[in-house]
Amino acid sequence: MSTFTSPLLQTLAQVNDEDDAAISVYLDLDPSVTPTRADMASRVRSAVDRLETASDRRSGEAKRTFEDGVDRVHRFLGEQDLRGGAEVHGAALFALGCEVFEALPLWRSAGDAVTAGGRFALRRLAVEDARTSQVLLVIAGRELGRVVLLRDGRLIELVDADQEIENRHHQGGWAASKLQRYTDRQAELHLAAVVEIAERTHARLGQPPIVLAGTAENSAVMRGRLGQEASAAVIGELPNMRDFDEASVLRELTAIAERHDGERERAMLERHAEQLGRGELAEGLDAALIAISESRVQTLLLAPGPGPEVCACPQCGRLSDRVQVCPLDGSFIVVEPMGLELAVAEAISRGADVWQLSDANRDALAASAGVGVITRY
């Protein structure tokens, strides 16, 4: 299975099928929930059974399209090792007849869900896409240089720049002070080379967050040498890594990424409150839905939970919090069966990110029924 990307998310968000044959399946593969092959088989069987039951409610061309999608999901689940590596804790599958099929691994479980409708159910996937899933670890010392990528729950060594600095203690002829100056100069050049490699790698990977590892002195030197963009991407530091095993490194980086996401969330809520305070955005669910329809949303904020009822105009697609006459084309705005999933898909297709609040902040959007926005203008 390939890892998902934001461009793929946007492509899936643009699907709008009039036969309601867009299938979305999420499977919880966390070992604490699905520990054995028998548990896995039971979870897969349950998902397929729910799809086959939904097929019975269709007829004609819509039924054929839906069954083609069900067949692709069924075959994939029967033939593939979903768990893959130990880092895969969930799966997301999307199918629309013979036209669309995507199967994506998730290194954090998004739970279980099976839906079918005019749109793919992308909320869970979008929430995972927004969280920090990549961290670039730069390890540097006087004789040590590594660049390691945390990606989707596993560590990938990208660069090994270790360097044995020449030691002339046993060669004679150098005074101790000259030897120390030489050694210090070589270490300085080595740190500069590691930083240069890290900056090139950082740019090539799309500028993910950076964590520096080394002594306090070496980390300070690295910070001083990093350029503006890479320096701004530093989200934490770790001590000398010589005594860390892989599990410890993974645990520490994951914790730093989670703290970073907490800081991002606080900044989003502050910006949301500032926009409300300046009158740039009206408070309430309807104001948020209108902003989505007008392509003004930079980030869609969601409280945990099922979400409110969402209505839409069948002609122009304008979103609303209630049934009413559409102010744009005079059509009757009606309740949307997929509710909040429609709002999520519309926001993504218009270039917005989707962020789900932590449980600690879930009440921050209570005044707007659990849906808020940060607007571009």
Domains of the chain: 6-130 (3.30.960.10), 134-262 (3.30.420.60), 281-375 (3.30.1330)
Q: What is the DSSP string of 7-63?
A: HHHHHHHT---TT--EEEEEEE--TTTS-SHHHHHHHHHHHHHHHHHHHTT--HHHH
Q: What is the pLDDT of residue 3?
A: 42
**What per-residue confidence (pLDDT) applies to 187?**
67
pLDDT in tens, 94-152: 999 999 999 998 888 899 999 999 999 999 999 999 999 899 999 987 677 889 999 88
**What Å distances lie between residue 360 and 4, 259, 303, 357, CA to CA?**
28, 14, 10, 8
Other beta carbons within 10 Å of 213: 26
DSSP 283: -
**What CA–CA distance (Å, rounded) separates 79 from 303?**
37
* Terminal alpha carbon distance of the chain: 38
What's the pLDDT score for residue 182?
Answer: 52
179 vs 25, higher pLDDT: 25
Give the pLDDT confidence score for residue 92 in this predicted structure. Answer: 95
State pLDDT tens for residues 182-232. Answer: 556 666 777 888 889 999 999 999 999 999 998 888 899 899 999 999 999
Strands 22-28, 113-117: pairing is antiparallel
Q: What is the pLDDT of residues 307-353, one digit of tens each?
A: 999 999 999 999 999 999 999 999 999 999 888 999 999 999 999 99
Q: What is the pLDDT of residue 159?
A: 85
Residue 31's CB is within 10 A of a number of other CB atoms, namely: 12
pLDDT in tens, 14-47: 999 988 999 999 999 988 888 888 888 899 899 9
Whether the per-residue pLDDT at 372 is higher than 50: the answer is yes
User: What pLDDT is attached to residue 32?
Assistant: 87
